[in-house]
């Protein structure tokens, strides 16, 4: 009986415990569901608050490979507050105080399963009202792999936006900015070109045969003078209102995407403008290079506020370079109006990387052109490019290294076997060396060691490059005399330069107006004149290159010529990815072949003023004898045999592709 009673009592207690367990589980599920519902409600029913002066980046996205995000927060005495975030999947790793009490840097971790939505960042201070800032995590519009950059199949149209077309005269003057004037008679004043002007003429650019556009910087340049060029940025997260709005920039990108075109953004990691908002209150003592000197001399009337760079860019590679020369190159300011950013400061480094990613994601970019590439800290630049390419493996970045030395160009290309072990992670250096030799070779008299042999030897240097087809080549750009000026007004030589560049194993870039022989003869090399207004871009222009109204016959001919070459190039796999074979110049003639499967493109440069019979048997190894070839300019077709007569000086482009 005793045993039975004990067993009965145990069963009674077990039953009671089971009831308690079931009740607890139900209660827990109910609470969790209520908490999830509350969390979801919090993320969707947030009332936007902007109690904080500035938080950058302006927003972010879920679904990145890198879950880390660092927010720059700027507000009076913000460092005296603590920070809280209550949003599922977002946690604060660390809050950093700066040297200035008006900054905080907040390290966030965004977990893989975080949902897009808005949440409040709460800034607390005892005996003071909470400050709130509503931050948004957006859903990504497409995966990282779908951000496809430019390559050798593209042809890039470089534009100085202020000088191309004034699509919206209402934004010409913005009273809140320092430079408030428009004067088209002053080559260094603003002229009024804008984003809408580019969008308005996309059909013209596409019809010419271009597949990508690189506008010079469009971010706010609130400088007192010379702000038109865009390279002294005063806000890295804002489109200059004189160029338009962010929405107009996104409309440009969207319109280009619908045409299959790529938008390349011109960015500057090396410096900002002297009027940048943070120059009034720098967050750290080492936010910019030579900061102590600047702060000591900031109010000097003689303008001695900076220590400028020595511009000795070879110190990046020179095994004998002195430390003082290296520091002067990297830490010196580019010019006195452009403070040199210190990328060795980890917060500046992270800020710059995130800014680039923000613009790629926001504007659906098809590439970045990075200004003054060898001037910043080179280890940072490797990290910058590496983090971008890690997130966007099919993206493209081109870096400006202005040198005629192929060894220096090769050093900056990703994968180059540099003896110091440096890997830049940069896909596309700029090929200034080829540009220089094309001009020299076409300008010089033919001799054993001069003339076309210069161009031939320049291309022979491709053995130094990991991927020569990824280099960006160009006849000129916004910083050098127009190609027509460099070639002393010789139209035939200009055509030869353009046709050669457009058939090379390279990514070609052409500056706006080249198609109508724009020049700077009146003041060669003058930047303001190089960046002349494109005729027809302003209401009332007597000449309109968009419609050909008022153009000379030479201008119309060049426009037509470039259009034919570009549009053939657009569909030519031989030019995009073909094998390259060239033959050493003889008798003033230089011949280059691009070969891919059943398509062969033949480029001939002929510098003879009188008819010249070219012996084709020398090129027998190409295997063209008996095949039909077509001149892509004249459409004249003939069969490749033993010789052809070159009637005129100039370039000839032939193809075996018959349609």
Residues assigned a catalytic role: 371, 400
Task: List, in sequence order, every beta strand (DSSP E) within 43-128.
Answer: 54-56, 60-61, 68-74, 82-85, 90-97, 103-110, 117-124
Q: Which of 45, 39, 51, 38 is nearest to 123 (CA)?
A: 51
Q: Which two tokens stand for residue 319?
A: 């095994």
Task: List, in sequence order, every beta strand (DSSP E) within 182-234.
Answer: 212-215, 219-220
Burial bucket for residue 510 (CB in 10 Å: 0-12, 13-18, 19+): buried
Burial 554-577 (b: 16+ CB within 10 A, else e): ebeebbebbebbbbbbbebebbbe
Instruction: Identify whether the C-beta of residue 578 lies closer than 8 Å to the C-beta of residue 655.
Output: no
Instruction: Identify whether the C-beta of residue 434 lies closer than 8 Å to the C-beta of residue 504.
Output: yes
The β-bridge partners of 614 are 644
DSSP readout, 361-387?
HHHT-SEEEESSTTSS-HHHHHHHHHH
- Where is 593: in which H helix or E strand? strand 589-596
Task: List, in sequence order, every beta strand (DSSP E) within 512-565.
Answer: none
- Where is 132: in which H helix or E strand? strand 131-138
Q: Which two tokens stand for residue 440?
A: 């020299």
First to last CA, the chain: 106
Q: Which two tokens stand for residue 161?
A: 């936006």
Beta-carbon contacts of residue 631 (< 8 Å; ≥ 6 apart): 637, 652, 653, 654
Give the C-alpha distances (Å, rounded to integers) separating 297 from 260, 300, 337. Answer: 50, 5, 13
Please give the radius of gyration of the chain, using alpha carbons only, rounded to the nearest integer: 30
Taking each helix axis as running N to C, give the angle between helix 346-363 and helix 246-258, from 0 to 180 degrees, rounded to the nearest 10: 50
Beta-carbon contacts of residue 208 (< 8 Å; ≥ 6 apart): 157, 515, 559, 562, 563, 566, 567
Measured CA to CA, the distance from residue 383 to residue 424 in angstroms comes to 8
The β-bridge partners of 544 are 549
Burial bucket for residue 229 (CB in 10 Å: 0-12, 13-18, 19+): buried
Q: Which of 353, 383, 424, 376 is nearest to 68 (CA)?
A: 353
CA 488 remoteness from chain centre:
31
The β-bridge partners of 450 are 447
SS3 38: helix
Q: Which of 445, 543, 555, 565 is nearest to 498 (CA)?
A: 565
Long-range Cβ contacts of 622-625 (<8 Å, 24+ apart) = 622/581, 622/593, 622/595, 624/600, 624/656
- Where is 202: in which H helix or E strand? helix 202-208
Backbone angles phi, psi at 356, to 5 degrees: -65, -45
DSSP readout, 301-322?
TT-----B----GGGGT-TT--
């Amino acid at each position: 009986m005793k045993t039975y009673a004990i067993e009965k009592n145990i069963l009674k207690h077990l039953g009671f415990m089971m009831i308690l367990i079931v009740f607890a589980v139900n209660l827990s599920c109910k609470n969790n569901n209520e908490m999830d519902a509350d969390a979801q409600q919090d993320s969707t029913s947030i009332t936007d608050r902007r109690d904080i002066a500035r938080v950058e980046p302006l927003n972010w996205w879920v679904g990145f490979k890198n879950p880390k995000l660092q927010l720059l927060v700027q507000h009076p005495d913000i460092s005296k507050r603590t920070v809280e975030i209550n949003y599922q999947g977002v946690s604060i790793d660390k809050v950093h105080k700066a040297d200035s009490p008006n900054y905080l840097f907040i390290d966030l971790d965004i977990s893989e399963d975080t949902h897009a939505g808005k949440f409040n960042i709460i800034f607390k201070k005892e005996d003071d009202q909470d400050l709130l800032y509503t931050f948004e995590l957006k859903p990504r519009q497409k995966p990282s792999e779908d951000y496809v950059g430019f390559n050798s199949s593209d042809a890039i149209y470089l534009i100085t936006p202020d000088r191309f077309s004034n699509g919206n005269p209402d934004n010409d003057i913005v009273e809140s900015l320092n430079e408030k004037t428009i004067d088209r008679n002053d080559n260094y004043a603003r002229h009024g070109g804008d984003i809408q002007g580019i969008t308005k003429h996309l059909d013209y650019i596409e019809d010419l045969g271009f597949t990508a556009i690189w506008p010079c910087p469009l971010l706010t340049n609130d400088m007192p003078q010379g702000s038109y060029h865009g390279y002294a940025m005063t806000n890295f997260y804002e489109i200059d209102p004189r160029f338009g709005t962010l929405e107009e920039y996104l409309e440009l990108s969207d319109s280009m995407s619908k045409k299959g075109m790529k938008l390349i953004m011109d960015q500057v990691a090396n410096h900002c403008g002297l009027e940048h908002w943070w120059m009034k209150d720098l967050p750290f003592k080492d936010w910019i290079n030579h900061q102590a000197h600047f702060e000591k001399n900031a109010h000097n009337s003689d303008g001695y506020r900076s220590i400028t760079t020595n511009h000795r860019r070879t110190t990046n590679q020179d095994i004998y370079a002195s430390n003082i020369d290296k520091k002067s190159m990297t830490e010196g300011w580019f010019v006195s109006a452009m403070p040199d950013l210190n990328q060795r400061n980890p917060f500046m480094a992270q800020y710059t990387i995130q800014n680039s990613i923000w613009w790629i994601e926001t504007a659906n970019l098809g590439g970045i052109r990075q200004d003054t590439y060898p001037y910043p800290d080179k280890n940072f630049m490797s990290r910058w490019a590496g983090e971008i390419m890690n997130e966007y493996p099919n993206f493209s970045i081109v870096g400006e290294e202005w040198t005629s030395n192929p060894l220096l160009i090769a050093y900056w290309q990703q994968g180059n076997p540099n003896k110091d072990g440096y890997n830049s992670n940069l896909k596309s250096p700029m090929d200034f060396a080829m540009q220089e030799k094309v001009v020299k070779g076409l300008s010089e008299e033919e001799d054993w060691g001069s003339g076309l042999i210069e161009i031939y030897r320049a291309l022979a240097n491709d053995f130094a490059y990991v991927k020569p087809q990824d280099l960006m080549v160009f006849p000129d750009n916004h910083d050098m005399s127009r190609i027509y000026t460099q070639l002393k007004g010789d139209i035939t030589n200009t055509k030869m330069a353009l046709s050669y560049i457009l058939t090379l194993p390279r990514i070609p870039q052409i500056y706006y107006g080249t198609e109508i022989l724009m020049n700077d003869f009146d003041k060669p090399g003058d930047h303001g004149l190089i960046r002349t207004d494109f005729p027809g871009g302003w209401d009332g222009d007597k000449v309109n290159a968009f419609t050909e109204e008022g153009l000379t016959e030479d201008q119309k001919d060049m426009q037509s010529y470039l259009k034919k070459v570009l549009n053939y190039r657009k569909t030519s796999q031989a030019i995009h990815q073909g094998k390259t074979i060239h033959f050493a110049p003889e008798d003033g003639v230089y011949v280059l072949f691009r070969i891919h499967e059943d398509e062969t493109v033949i480029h001939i440069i002929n510098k003879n003023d009188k008819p010249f019979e070219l012996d084709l048997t020398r090129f027998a190894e190409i295997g063209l004898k008996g095949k039909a070839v077509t001149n892509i300019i004249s459409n004249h077709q003939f069969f490749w045999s033993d010789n052809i007569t070159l009637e005129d000086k100039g370039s000839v482009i032939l193809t075996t592709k018959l349609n």
